Structure 1
């Protein structure tokens, strides 16, 4: 099975900030009304550690956060004691194992929240709907609702793919500056999944420019021959996210694209509102 989609013939019947966009170096200001400043600072340090690849030194955190070293040291001691950070033999600090359980649980919940919106996409387009996140250098599928057609596309929730040959990957990478995309492609390479896969960074960056101009991405037989996908980014998501629909190229024609893209955009907008409500609704 190729990385990405599997065609299934039936006989009857998977939160945020873009890590590639520089974070402000200003120290977190006073806590918002009702907030706790030390908690805000601790979470800010954890996110800065994630942005740096998961392992940093105190001086690096001081330089990026603007916080005094004694404050950072006190916060890191607390995070180490609770298992969310671990101190390495080289005295640097790394993200701790307790974060894994939180991340896995959050990813499952995100997929649960997305499913009703994906189900509406399936109802309105007739094609399989997916949601994916950018995790490191890969796109990971966190939710899917399959089409009801006997011939439909399927990919496992939790599957990781290189983003250069997928619609969701293009939608995700189009949110990044070109130099960050070039660096990512240099790390992952651009292996060809089909004869249509873009394997040149320059060609891929031109494709991303088109995604930004058009407001949606297309995988046109680039991950698997005979399969077409349309994808859009989820605006203002807590972490870089995209939704897509996928189906046989014979159904996802240019005419169908014109009809389906507005539906896809509306689903992404509604999902963004739902995620914002979820993250903002905890207070009170």
Structure 2
């Protein structure tokens, strides 16, 4: 049985999570509506968060996340990536292609760790790079975990811009792809982010932040037959990554 938390800390964290989820700024009435807390309590908590730099009070009197959250997020991402890197190295070693770990970051995915292929021609993605969800393997794997209503909402806010001529740019087609991903248990980026590159990705189950693991490389090597061998390895390693991220 989980021990009871400190109520004021839980409430402050709830408010920060709400600000993160709205993807911009929010007023006291919106924070009250979403948190269920009374306005005086929210005002007191937000005043403390602003004073510590974890939130900002805008000229409009609305609130947004503060600059101090950036440092925490970057540090957490580096630490989580460092812990998972040995598991990515196993993927790269067993499959011979580049392995990536990415986390959901609002309406985007951000790469937090990578283990590179030993091939001279290989896929390389800079750690810290943010990418759209609809055009990447990790992004589509993360979207597949969400209900259709959330997928529609993200697609509406972020758009479905084409990265290549193979990118899904139609909402109905994206929702159909999500149904297929949920049924088969993995996502494929078939030249949708970069021509000539194919990627297979799976979700890391139970991760504290929605997270996906992928393997990618030139389509000539990363064939669908390769995927039949790769997906079971990804699922197995994803369980190890989940334990790493949860401190197990």
Could you state the TM-score of these two structures normalised by the residue count of structure 1? 0.81
What is the root-mean-square deviation in Å for CA atoms of aligned residues? 1.8
Q: Say if 2:111 and 2:130, in contact at 8 Å, map to a contact too.
A: yes
The 5 Å alignment of 1:27-42 reads 33=3, 35-42=5-12
Contact 2:201 2:214 in 1 (8 A): yes
* Residues 187 and 40 (structure 1), Cα distance of their counterparts in 2 relative to 1, 3 Å cut: closer
Task: Kindly state the Cα deviation for residue 52 of structure 1 after the two structures are TM-superposed.
Answer: 2.2
Paired position in structure 2 for 1:198: 168
1:157 is aligned to 2:127: yes
Contact 2:20–2:106 (8 Å) recurs in 1: no
- Among 106, 110, 113, the residue aligned to 2:80: 110
Q: In the alignment, does 2:80 pair up with 1:80?
A: no
1:62 equivalent to 2:29? Answer no
Instruction: Compare the two structures and name the one with the higher helix fraction.
Output: 2
Name the structure 2 match of 1:134.
104
2:123, 2:183 → 1: CA distance? 27
Distance (Å, rounded) in 2 between the aligned partners of 1:96 and 1:145 = 32
CA deviations over 1:71-128 (Å, ceiling 9, x no partner): 2222222212212122222322222121111111111112112211100111111110
Runs of 5+ in structure 2 lacking a partner? Answer: none
Asked if residue 230 in structure 1 is aligned to residue 177 in structure 2, the reply is no
Cα deviation 1:203-250 (Å, max 9, x = unaligned) = 121111110000000111222232110001111112121110001222
1:5-64: CA deviation from partner (whole Å, max 9, x where unpaired): xxxxxxxxxxxxxxxxxxxxxxxxxxx536322111111111112122242222222222
The TM-score with structure 2 as length reference comes to 0.92
User: Using the alignment, how far apart are the partners of 1:153 and 1:70 within structure 2?
Assistant: 52
1:1-284 correspondence to structure 2 within 5 Å = 33=3, 35-277=5-247
Higher gyration radius (CA): 1
Find runs of 4+ consecutive structure 1 residues off by over 6 angstroms.
none
